[in-house]
Amino acid sequence: MNIVETPWERTYKFILFVFGIPFFLVGIIIKILPLTINGIIWIVVGLGLLTKNIYNKRRLETLKREGLSCDGSIVRIHPAHMVKIGSYVTAKVECLCKTEKGDKSVRSGYYLLSPLDRREDLHVKIYFDRNNSENYTVELFRKETGF
């Protein structure tokens, strides 16, 4: 099984290296202030997305190490209709997990799903904080398909 990527993992590289740094350098070299400012804005946005990616990874690592885990079943996929990256669709996954207190419904953050992905092809692992069940994170996996 492969881990499904989040949009933050791909987008920050694209924004930094396609918009931010080139606009900034061209603005500095040609001495066009609006282009330099535009480059700075794109660099800040790219660094913000990088920070979000690092925060999510560290939170997942912490909850894996210190929290409780359970396998979940996917109930529904909620696509963000206007947000696409290449051929991938950005979507949230609503899943159900069985805990000691009963069934708990959780919703993940955004993931990049292929248009060919189905609920049956995805697997969910949910990590809860031991002290606060409202603090959780979801890890989404794509099952290997034999095409």
Q: How confident is the model over 83-130, as pLDDT tens digits?
A: 777 788 888 999 988 877 778 888 888 888 888 888 888 889 988 888
CB atoms within 10 A of CB 30: 9
Q: How confident is the model over 48-74, as pLDDT tens digits?
A: 999 999 999 999 899 989 888 888 888
Cα distances from 44 to residues 20, 41, 50, 120, in angstroms, run 8, 5, 10, 39
- Per-domain residue ranges of the chain: 2-62, 68-142
pLDDT at residue 50, as a whole number: 93
pLDDT at residue 40, as a whole number: 93
Average pLDDT over residues 19-28: 90
Q: Could you give the CA distance from residue 135 to residue 59 in angstroms, rounded to a whole number?
A: 10
